């Protein structure tokens, strides 16, 4: 980290290349891992990102100066050789590999290794220093097979329909919602009802060739019963939800692994579907990367750091502002 990247006021900075990775303050050159709000912020002069990420960036941030970089395409910034590699997190998400001299540092951004039909699979990149996310870094977090989770969602939907209830499924609007719609294609070709926050992003996904169930906007005056409604979590308890009358609410998130999390938030159903790495994925990725130094960023960094040190891996937490708005 001392060599290739360091923590500056605006974010994680590379002095050799004079650029930042996912900076939170406004900078000249920003390499962006993915389009979630805590990683891609407004105000930079130039955005480097994967081609699939850029339309989402434009949708979220408006008119920005962006330069697409394919996975594996090496480009030079100052003295640094930079390349993006698939992170498996959401469409167009990337890890950033930075080589200066013979030293290699990788910033994972958010990543996962469980299969996801909406994006390219995670690519393992070896390095000397690994800056990894640590959102779910306790061993109680292990993800079930996403196919069986999708089946649970479908069964729940059908079960709600039998009772003439709508099934309102809360998902983050970017990534999770589309993943659910893609996974559900195994079971049905019916359309689902989409909240206004989910609709435009779904259209972007579709225009990039992602196969998903049809999504239709909410129509004023329509009477909904037995439908699957996909909405962001903020919709729960808002006046918007009232139009669906009697319904059950479910939440799709890694946090739903813990029973208390679901009950506290008042959801009838929790579906354990995460776009982040679970404990085993974190530990395996760190091992397989061959890194001599590991720096966990957002999440429960303290437990991961201590665990790694006890495994004789040099680890140190890196305080960032990521992960405050997601999952």
Partner 1 sequence: MKSFVELYTRLDRTNSTNAKLSAMREYFRKAEPACAAWAVNILSGRRQKRLLGPAQLREWLAESVGLPDWLVEQSYAHVGDLAETAALLHHTVKAASQDGSQYASVEVGLSAWMERLLLLRNLEEGEKRQWIQAQWQQSPLAEGFVKTKLLTGALRVGVSQTLVVKALAQEYDLPTAVIQRRLMGDWQPTAANYLDLIGPDDGRHDVSQPYPFCLAYPLEKDPATLGGAELWLAEWKWDGIRAQLIKRQGNIFLWSRGEELVMHSFPEIVQAAEALPDGVVIDGEILGWTFASDADAQQEMDEVCGKPLPFNQLQRRLGRKKVGPKLLGEVPVILQAYDQLESDGISMCGRPLLERRSGLQKTLSYAVSPHLRLSPALQGSWEYLAGLRHSSRERGVEGFMLKRLDSVYQAGRVKGDWWKWKVDPYTVDAVLLYAQAGHGRRSNLYTDYTFAVWEGEQLVPFAKAYSGLADSEIVELDRWIRKHTKERFGPVRSVEPVQVFELAFEGIALSKRHKSGVAVRFPRIQRWRKDKLVEQADSLTLVKSLVADNAL
- Return the residue of 65, 102, 221, 264 that touches partner 1, per CB under 8 A: 264
Our finding on whether 279 is near partner 1 (CB under 8 A) is yes
Question: Rounded to an integer, what distance in angstroms lies between the CA atom of residue 201 and that of residue 181?
Answer: 12
- 307 contributes a contact to partner 1 by CB under 8 A: yes
* 36 sits near Zn ion (criterion: CB under 5 A): yes
Q: How far is the CB of 302 from partner 1 (least distance, A)?
A: 9
Q: Is 313 exposed, middle or buried (0-12, 13-18, 19+ CB in 10 A)?
A: middle
Q: Closer to partner 1 at the Cβ: 29 or 269?
A: 269
Question: Which part of the chain contacts Zn ion (CB under 5 A), choosing from 105-113, 138-146, 240-248, 294-302?
Answer: 105-113
If contact means CB under 5 to 8 A according to the sort of partner, which of partner 1, Zn ion, none does residue 72 touch? none
CA distance 5 to 103: 11
Distance between CA atoms of 86 and 99, rounded to whole angstroms?
17
Whole-number minimum distance, CB 183 to partner 1, in Å?
19
Binding residues for partner 1, how many (CB under 8 A)? 24
- Residue nearer to partner 1 on the CB measure, 208 or 303: 303
Specify the residue, 269 or 298, whose C-beta has the smaller distance to Zn ion.
Answer: 298
Starting from the edge strand earliest in sequence, which strands make up the sheet with 94-100, in order? 75-77, 80-86, 94-100, 103-107, 129-134, 293-299, 314-315
141 binds partner 1 (CB under 8 A): yes
Mark out the alpha helices in the chain (DSSP H runs). Answer: 54-61, 146-162, 176-183, 199-207, 259-265, 279-289, 301-310
Number of H helices, E strands in the chain: 7, 19
Residues that bind Zn ion (CB under 5 A): 36, 110
* Contact residues: partner 1, CB under 8 A: 138-142, 257-261, 263-264, 266, 268-269, 278-280, 283-284, 303, 306-307, 310
């Amino acid at each position: 980290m001392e060599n290739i990247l360091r923590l500056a006021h605006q974010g994680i900075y590379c002095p050799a290349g004079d650029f930042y990775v996912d900076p939170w303050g406004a900078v000249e050159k920003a390499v962006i891992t993915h389009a979630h709000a805590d990683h891609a912020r407004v105000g930079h002069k130039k955005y480097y990102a994967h081609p699939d990420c850029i339309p989402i960036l434009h949708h979220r941030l408006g008119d920005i100066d962006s330069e697409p970089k394919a996975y594996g395409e090496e480009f030079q910034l100052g003295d640094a050789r930079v390349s993006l590699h698939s992170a498996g997190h959401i469409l167009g998400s990337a890890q950033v590999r930075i080589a200066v001299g013979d030293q290699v540092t990788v910033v994972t951004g958010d990543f996962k290794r469980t299969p996801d039909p909406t994006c390219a699979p995670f690519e393992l990149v070896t390095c000397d220093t690994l800056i990894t996310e640590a959102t779910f870094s306790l061993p109680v977090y292990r993800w079930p097979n996403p196919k069986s989770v999708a089946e649970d969602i479908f069964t729940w939907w059908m079960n709600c329909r039998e009772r003439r209830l709508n099934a309102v499924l809360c998902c983050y609007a970017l990534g999770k919602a589309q993943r659910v719609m893609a996974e559900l294609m195994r079971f049905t070709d019916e359309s689902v009802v989409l909240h206004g926050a989910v609709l435009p992003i779904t259209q972007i996904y579709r225009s990039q060739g992602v196969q998903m169930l049809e999504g239709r906007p909410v129509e004023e005056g329509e009477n909904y019963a037995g439908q699957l409604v996909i909405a962001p979590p903020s919709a729960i308890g808002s006046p918007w939800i009232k139009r669906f009358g009697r319904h059950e609410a479910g939440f799709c998130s890694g946090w739903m692994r813990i029973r208390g999390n679901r009950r506290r938030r008042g959801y009838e159903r929790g579906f354990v579907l995460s776009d982040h790495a679970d404990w085993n994925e974190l530990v395996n990725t760190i091992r397989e990367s061959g890194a001599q130094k590991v720096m966990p960023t957002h999440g429960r960094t303290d437990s991961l750091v201590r665990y790694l040190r006890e495994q004789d891996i040099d680890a140190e937490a890196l305080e960032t502002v990521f992960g405050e708005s997601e999952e």
